[in-house]
Structure 1
Amino acid sequence: MATHYLLGIDTGGTYTDAALFDEGKGVVAKAKALTTRHDLAVGISGAVDAVIEKAGIPVSAISLVSLSTTLATNALVEGQGGRSGLVMIGFGPEDLKRDGLETALGTDPVVFLPGGHNVHGHENPLDLEPLRTALPELGTSVSSFAVAGYFAVRNPEHEIRVRDFLRQHTHLPVTCSHELSSKLGGPRRALTTLLNSRLVSMIDRLVGSCERFLETRGIHAPMMVVRGDGALISASEAKVRPIETILSGPAASLVGARYLTGLDNAVVSDIGGTTTDVAVLEDGRPRLDADGAVVGGYRTMVEAVAMRTFGLGGDSEVRINDRGLEARFTLGPRRFLPLSLLSKAHGDVVTAALERQLRTAHVGRHDGRFAVRTGVPDRLASGLQPQEQALFDRIGNEPVPLDQLLSTTPQKATLDRLVARGLVHIAGITPSDAMHVLGRQGQWDAEAARMGLALAARAKDGAGRVLAQSPEELAEKIVAQLTRQSCEVILGACLMDDGVSGVDARESTEIDRALRRAAGIVRFGVTLDRPLVGLGASAPVYYPAIADMLSAPSAIPDDADVANAIGAVVGQVRASVTVFVTSPDEGIFVVNGAGVSVRLTSQEESFALARARAEKAALEQARLNGADEPVVDLRAEVDAPEIEGSRKLIEARFIATASGRPRIAAE
């Protein structure tokens, strides 16, 4: 019997991970490559080629490929995406002021059309004329359309008519709000649809480039993408509904954590180069954000893991405040290129500059810091101000020491703007460098890390004392700070999940005493009610101390470094459909959802039709999402209070969820 290998890929902020998985043997091989932000396919090819070579298998043995990505999340956070035209059916301009829709819309055009439906699915006449008038200009100024109709979740007929009209006359991608959510709340559903339409071309490029890479390698297998709730979706559906991939990476890590540890209940903390993500496993499933995922400051209607993300990681900037009588250390939220990584890539250029700085008698404010271009295409550097262009021209593909690059204070602000544009990296000491000095990590250049920490240790606090007597002493202080800040963010996330307000883990005297185990007549303690699962490449070196400070049992699986990639292939395909029954008049029952509205005179018949519709639509959507043999689970929620001695139906919701493993390539 042939072995079916599943290939999981995760594109993170620093690394792209790949893992080959066999359902009988587990992880067969794993590999990493540096993420290439200007072209993610380059990093993907590096990781995939390496993992196939390690496994020594023919590419024909790969029967499924699954991708988790932070691209959609990052794009929304950074305000990126295409220009979209928003079509509002049955809404007015005042509705733009709700749920942040006006802010999200920005300068993108909006067209209001008469039409829409009421709560029972009855229509107001649709008038396409305003759209027909605006179309000549719209068709050439936007890259996609978003369509949101009043009560479209009850009757999507008008959204479908507008979608078909736009496709016929513009051939541009069109997203309808009823395709993304069955929840009421028109403006927020419109916001979710607008954000989705902006992401369509971006995710299409990512998935398309990944598909083309697989094709060139001869890998002919179905391709899946992880959704924000941890379920899998086919690549073709991800292109249509890219917003469902927001928080894809964190969701994959939770699914991977559940598989690797077997724990049903746990706090999962995933430390990467840039961020720490904290979430809760409850009864074997990721806890979801009941109100919809918040990304880039916008509350969407997308079901996603209740993930808290903090700017703290192995590549966090080490900030030293030496103005007080005792120096204080804080980490993040900015990401630096670790000196050890920079030196591995650029060798003598880095070490020569560090040696020069160490030979000087005085301490320089820019010692141990460099600037280097990120490598994005030149076209992305267009539109720079003259001072920005001049500084950018002086920064090449080889690192430049900041003490030679910056001669005036305003230039520092200019450099920060180039960093914010994604054109330049700043390199300096990080926790990863501290771990290299202490011998707990060794993948990069430990000597460059030692020199960088030696430079930083020479600085003096307000009492005239050097920060540390040796690079090793400073390294211990940096790692201790990472341990402490990690505990604070984990506690902060868990307190938010518990609904506890008014307690800031960073400022609380009681939590401070508990974490320090401070002596006193009153002893404070703090712990978690479940194990702490540590994920990430550096989890084994950081999380034992973090769990110990939290007085919690720790679980750090062997393959913690590729948990996201594993989660990408062990997850399930899942699709959920809701069908509604309302009663506008005595003895009349209206069935809405998963088809045209139907009026019946029997509650029993309407409920039976709603159940059958929901089950059929969920199974169809699950198969469309890539499920092989989905099974369906149905639950009903009936709001029927007793009024004057008799029950009055307000609304019944029949929610069918179909799930199954993704189909794999045939032998």
Structure 2
Amino acid sequence: MPLLLGIDTGGTFTDAVLYDEARGVVAKAKALTTHHDLALGVGGAVEAVLGRSGVDPAHIALVSLSTTLATNAMVEGQGGRVGLVFIGFDAADAERPALKAALGGDPVLLIAGGHDSFGAERMPLDVATLAAEAVRLAPSLSGFAVTGRFAVLNPEHEIAARELLRRETGLPVSCGHELSARLDGPKRALTSLLNARLIHLLEALIAATEERLGALGIGAPLMVVRGDGALVTASLARTRPIETIFSGPAASAVGGAFLAGTRDAIVSDIGGTTTDVVVLRDGRPRVDPAGALIGGFRTMVEAIAIRTCGLGGDSEVWLDQSGLETALRLGPRRVMPLSLLAEEYGDLVHATLDRQRRAEAPAELDGRFVLPLGSPPAGLSEPETALLARLGGRAQAADRLVTSRRETNALRRLVDRRLVIAAGLTPSDAAHVLGLHSAWDAAAALKGAELFARRRGATGRAFAETGRELAQRVVDTLVRCSAEFVLDCALAEDGFEDAGLSRHPLAVAAMADPTGLVRLSLSLSAPLVGLGASAATYYPDIARLVRAPSLVPEHAEVANAVGAVVGGVHASAEVKVLQPVEGVFRVLGAGLARDFGDLAEALALAREAARGEAAAAAIRAGAGAVEVSAAVEVRKAQTEGREIFVEATVSARASGRPRIGAG
């Protein structure tokens, strides 16, 4: 049987698995994700798994990659600055709350053009204005997003705008019609905008992966996991990075179901940045037809119905002093654990923590460090440029780097743009203090916990007596928050969408196992499958709180890499049949725009076109032989006692296993 290599690049670790369909997992390995140079982490994991297996790299027939990088960037509000080209829309459309929030100040070009609801041109595309504005804005942008009115029915103007933008600026361009076949221009614009923001992130990952694979002698095709668990070629993923939103979680769901061998389960994967939960029914995760919801934004990209929150082993530990009481909070921002930073910068970390512990009073930036992640792009403000220059390409103590509120704001923007990363106390550090983990520098973790414990609460007293007490409170908070999140996900699956139900007094009392007159009981009806490197540490306690059987399967720590190689290739296509005037049936989609006088003939062409488009899309995505199914939905209306045809939608889906190399 051919050997398959699965790779997952997460926020903290890069995992690699060698898989044989006859023997299962042949070997597995982990390496730290190296954000400044992703090739190092990918190469380290692949080299380790090859060394453990003794396999000849030339025998690997397929490489498949899953990643949480796009998901993490969305959760943390990161990404490049993008120009939205809005064709045929007006200023009010750009003011839709979700789109306006997603833009966050990025420029919008309102360009004349667009089509009507039957695919006919409303007015010519204003190429002169588009060219002039694009050239003016290009130096401050990382790419463009293009969305035209009714472009899903006729993408002519989006395609023309894309070619002009590429020719005039050389920047990547994301078109809305390539990402979704559904109507609602502003929502499609939001999807295209987010896609454009992520292109440079995924491009860096794929380029790094291909570079290292080639250096190691692996010439197999490279695939990437989409958010619905399907695989696509690396070349296609490069242009549609938003389809990799939930790539890592989707691979985990597929891998978790495969490893657990259970038909019904709640699968929860705790990573460095996020915790992701998916419900399995009859062995299959549900696909969310409304599109992926991430970072507060609902996209139009199909994805497995995953619920995600910013809670993981590398979540920032902080104190919430907004009210009369002081509360310990985790995330959603990811920081590098102090224990991990000390592995590379031991002298700096220990000297800084010792200096801060000798101070009489705690300070805001105690236990905080800053590391650069990459070369600065154009368009930075003067404070941002100056701060990066002072950072000098190495880790530094935050209290020696930042000396004013202005610099604090500049640092926050650099973190948001993924140019630097902060280091501080995390649950991973707390686990090292308590002896639950031992991979990194536990002494640095303890010093960081002791510094954090000295912080003043609302009463003016130290928040905790000792670093060990503080660490236990961090771990308890992670377990509790994880249990609440799992419970909220299960309740939402049953139709109770209120995200706060897990904190209702009755739910709190049920999880606390009260001994009062009323016996409260709350439990899950399916096992809780824990995945991730730290699942065995936390999930037995999490399962106990929600009264569920706990299952942490073998290879749980690399389930996402397993899921990356056991999935298939899927593609879909949609063709519309409309009636612009009575008795004329117009077929639109899959490159067609043809009129018929007979509905049956129009439907037959639509079915043939949708099946052909889906099959071609699956083959472009990397499938070998494909199977295609199609369904027709016809909408009719009653008027004046007779039935009138409104529209028909022909949906086709093609599926197959990925093409593999010779092995």
Q: Say yes or no: TM over 0.5.
A: yes
Partners of 1:579 and 1:610 within 8 A in 2: yes
The question of 1:594 aligning with 2:590 is answered: yes
Counterpart mapping for 1:197-276 below 5 A: 197-276=196-275
Partners of 1:353 and 1:401 within 8 A in 2: no
The question of 1:339 aligning with 2:338 is answered: yes
Amino acid paired to 1:254? A
Partners of 2:72 and 2:273 within 8 A in 1: no
The question of 1:640 aligning with 2:636 is answered: yes
Amino acid paired to 1:149? G
Counterpart mapping for 1:598-617 below 5 A: 598-617=594-613
Q: Secondary structure at the match of 1:649?
A: strand
Partners of 1:33 and 1:44 within 8 A in 2: yes
Q: Secondary structure at the match of 1:500?
A: coil
Counterparts in 2 of 1:503 and 1:277: CA distance versus 1, 3 Å:
closer
State the partner residue of 1:310.
Answer: 309
Counterparts in 2 of 1:361 and 1:221: CA distance versus 1, 3 Å:
closer
State the partner residue of 1:19.
Answer: 17
Instruction: Quote how far apart the aligned CAs of 1:12 are.
Output: 1.4
Shifted more, 224-233 versus 442-451: the winner is 442-451
Gaps of 5+ in 2: none
State the partner residue of 1:8.
Answer: 6
The question of 1:377 aligning with 2:366 is answered: no
Q: CA RMSD in A?
A: 3.6
Partners of 2:383 and 2:407 within 8 A in 1: no
Instruction: Quote how far apart the aligned CAs of 1:158 are.
Output: 4.6
d(CA) in 1 for partners of 2:499, 2:82: 41
d(CA) in 2 for partners of 1:115, 1:414: 40
Partners of 1:275 and 1:313 within 8 A in 2: yes
* Alignment partner of 2:390 out of 389, 393, 396: 393
Counterparts in 2 of 1:336 and 1:176: CA distance versus 1, 3 Å:
closer
d(CA) in 2 for partners of 1:50, 1:241: 30
Counterpart mapping for 1:482-561 below 5 A: 482-502=478-498, 504-505=500-501, 507-561=503-557
Q: Deviations over 1:396-439 (max 9, x none)?
A: 8355385x778889987776666556555554443223322333
Amino acid paired to 2:270? I
d(CA) in 2 for partners of 1:432, 1:102: 36
Counterparts in 2 of 1:152 and 1:420: CA distance versus 1, 3 Å:
closer
State the partner residue of 2:564.
Answer: 568
d(CA) in 1 for partners of 2:199, 2:499: 40
Instruction: Quote how far apart the aligned CAs of 1:172 are.
Output: 5.7
d(CA) in 2 for partners of 1:498, 1:447: 45
Partners of 2:4 and 2:19 within 8 A in 1: yes
Q: Secondary structure at the match of 1:385?
A: helix
d(CA) in 2 for partners of 1:627, 1:382: 42
Q: Secondary structure at the match of 1:252?
A: helix
Shifted more, 578-587 versus 154-163: the winner is 154-163
d(CA) in 1 for partners of 2:579, 2:458: 74
Matched length: 658
Counterparts in 2 of 1:636 and 1:264: CA distance versus 1, 3 Å:
farther
State the partner residue of 1:38.
Answer: 36
Counterparts in 2 of 1:331 and 1:97: CA distance versus 1, 3 Å:
closer
| Larger gyration radius, structure 1 or structure 2 | 1
Amino acid paired to 2:428? S
Shifted more, 132-141 versus 595-604: the winner is 132-141
d(CA) in 2 for partners of 1:353, 1:227: 42
State the partner residue of 1:182.
Answer: 181
Amino acid paired to 1:616? G
d(CA) in 2 for partners of 1:460, 1:125: 63
d(CA) in 1 for partners of 2:537, 2:455: 27
Amino acid paired to 2:310? G
Shifted more, 56-65 versus 468-477: the winner is 468-477
Length-normalised TM-score, structure 2? 0.87
The question of 1:666 aligning with 2:640 is answered: no
Instruction: Quote how far apart the aligned CAs of 1:523 are.
Output: 2.2
Counterparts in 2 of 1:392 and 1:508: CA distance versus 1, 3 Å:
farther
d(CA) in 1 for partners of 2:150, 2:457: 63
Instruction: Quote how far apart the aligned CAs of 1:390 are.
Output: 6.8
d(CA) in 2 for partners of 1:146, 1:411: 31
Shifted more, 434-443 versus 618-627: the winner is 434-443
State the partner residue of 2:56.
Answer: 58
d(CA) in 2 for partners of 1:126, 1:413: 45
d(CA) in 2 for partners of 1:490, 1:334: 20
Counterparts in 2 of 1:447 and 1:219: CA distance versus 1, 3 Å:
same
Counterpart mapping for 1:90-489 below 5 A: 90-98=88-96, 100-101=98-99, 104=102, 106-119=105-118, 121=119, 123-124=120-121, 126-128=123-125, 130-132=126-128, 134-136=130-132, 138-139=134-135, 141-142=137-138, 144-160=143-159, 163=162, 173-319=172-318, 329-351=328-350, 354=353, 364-365=362-363, 369-377=367-375, 383-385=381-383, 389=386, 393=390, 397=394, 400=397, 402=399, 419-420=415-416, 422=418, 425-453=421-449, 472-489=468-485
Instruction: Quote how far apart the aligned CAs of 1:456 are.
Output: 5.3
d(CA) in 1 for partners of 2:304, 2:409: 36
d(CA) in 2 for partners of 1:138, 1:415: 29
Q: Secondary structure at the match of 1:650?
A: strand
Counterparts in 2 of 1:141 and 1:418: CA distance versus 1, 3 Å:
closer
Counterparts in 2 of 1:481 and 1:322: CA distance versus 1, 3 Å:
same
Instruction: Quote how far apart the aligned CAs of 1:656 are.
Output: 0.7
Instruction: Quote how far apart the aligned CAs of 1:266 are.
Output: 2.2
Q: Secondary structure at the match of 2:576?
A: strand
Q: Deviations over 1:485-510 (max 9, x none)?
A: 11112222333444425561464211
Q: Deviations over 1:351-394 (max 9, x none)?
A: 45556666x596645697142424533668953529x9479837
d(CA) in 1 for partners of 2:455, 2:170: 62
Q: Secondary structure at the match of 1:36?
A: coil
Q: Secondary structure at the match of 1:153?
A: coil
Counterparts in 2 of 1:160 and 1:434: CA distance versus 1, 3 Å:
closer
d(CA) in 2 for partners of 1:443, 1:407: 34
Gaps of 5+ in 1: none
d(CA) in 2 for partners of 1:93, 1:207: 37
Instruction: Quote how far apart the aligned CAs of 1:272 are.
Output: 1.5
Instruction: Quote how far apart the aligned CAs of 1:49 are.
Output: 2.0
Q: Deviations over 1:290-342 (max 9, x none)?
A: 32223444432111233332222222334467999998543333434333223
